[in-house]
């Protein structure tokens, strides 16, 4: 300890100074030195005791703080970042398909696009089911003789994911079945050859352009058909108006040749015919009796 060293130096100096004096003084000094050393030992023991007491108090506080920490934190449901879960959102159906296809490749199975739900209002897609390619069972062969026995590819696996489009435009996972009824080959699954990947933006633009060109040709065809129909209607109207005009001229000739009474009857009938034709033909084609 530092206190002990300082005290020893002080008493050593006093002893040298008083060395020329008589032996009694020197003996007293020696006694005083011994007494001082004893007091230093007592002080050392007291300091060490206080230090140990401080350390014990510090350890008690630390142990108390440790005791206050709960033994276990409530377990939270752990979901892998690359595994589907209920409520998971995607920007589009294509994003959901790409995510599940990546998950299937990592786990070791192949997906197949299954049921599609459409809106009754506009017919747009609002739901899609993606299933394992071993979903369902193979239908029995209707042929009596089976040419070649193929390996079983469907074993009734129920693993699937169902996504639905919500009002915000997002596609949300509403159902997820993880368990498979067959063995898996993690990391070795073949590529999805049952359903082609969704086309990219350029493919979509090209496809829409082709559809637009087809619709334009169809509209031009419909327009030509309507023009032909109108031409035929116009020709029939001209033919009908000529026939009616011929009838009117014939009635006038009969009026000049026959008596007054018969001519009025014929003219009245012709007038009725003209009234009917007036509602059918355009203005200016009919004549009065």
Domain extents for the chain? 2-68, 89-138+152-198, 208-280
pLDDT of residue 226: 92
**What region does 132 belong to: left with phi over 0, alpha with psi -120 to 50, or beta?**
beta
CB burial of 89-98 (b: ≥16 within 10 Å; e: otherwise) equals ebeebeebbe
pLDDT of residue 258: 64
Token digits for 270? 């012709």
Inform me whether the pLDDT recorded for 61 exceeds 50.
Answer: no
Select, from the ranges 7-16, 26-35, 151-160, 263-272, the one with the highest average predicted confidence (pLDDT).
151-160
pLDDT of residue 241: 85
For 234-249, what is the mean pLDDT? 85
For the chain, the residue count is: 289
pTM: 0.38
pLDDT of residue 216: 92
Mean pLDDT (the chain) is 68
């Amino acid at each position: 300890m530092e206190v002990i060293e300082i005290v020893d130096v002080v008493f050593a100096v006093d002893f040298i100074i008083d060395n020329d004096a008589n032996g009694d003084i020197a003996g007293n000094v020696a006694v005083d030195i011994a007494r001082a050393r004893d007091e230093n030992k007592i002080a050392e023991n007291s300091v060490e005791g206080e230090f140990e007491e401080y350390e014990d108090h510090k350890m008690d506080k630390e142990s108390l703080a440790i005791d206050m920490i709960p033994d276990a934190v409530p377990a939270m449901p752990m979901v892998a970042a690359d595994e589907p879960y209920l409520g998971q959102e995607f920007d589009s159906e294509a994003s959901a398909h790409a995510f599940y296809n990546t998950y299937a490749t990592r786990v070791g199975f192949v997906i197949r696009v299954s049921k599609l739900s459409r809106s009754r209002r506009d017919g747009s897609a609002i739901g899609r089911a993606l299933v394992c390619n071993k979903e369902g069972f193979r239908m029995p062969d209707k042929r009596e003789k089976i040419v070649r026995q193929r390996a079983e590819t469907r074993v009734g696996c129920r693993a699937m994911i169902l996504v639905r489009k919500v009002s915000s435009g997002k596609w949300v996972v509403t159902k997820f079945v993880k368990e498979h009824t067959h063995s898996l080959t993690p990391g070795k699954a073949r590529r999805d050859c049952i359903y082609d990947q969704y086309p990219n933006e350029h493919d979509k633009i090209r496809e829409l352009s082709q559809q637009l060109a087809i619709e334009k040709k169809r509209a031009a065809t419909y327009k030509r058909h309507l023009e032909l129909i109108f031409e035929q209607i116009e020709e029939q109207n001209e033919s009908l108006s000529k026939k009616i005009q011929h009838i009117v001229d014939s009635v006038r000739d009969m009026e000049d040749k026959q008596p007054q009474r018969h001519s009025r009857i014929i003219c009245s009938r012709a007038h009725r015919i003209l009234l009917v034709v007036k509602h059918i033909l355009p203005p200016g084609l009919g004549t009065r009796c």
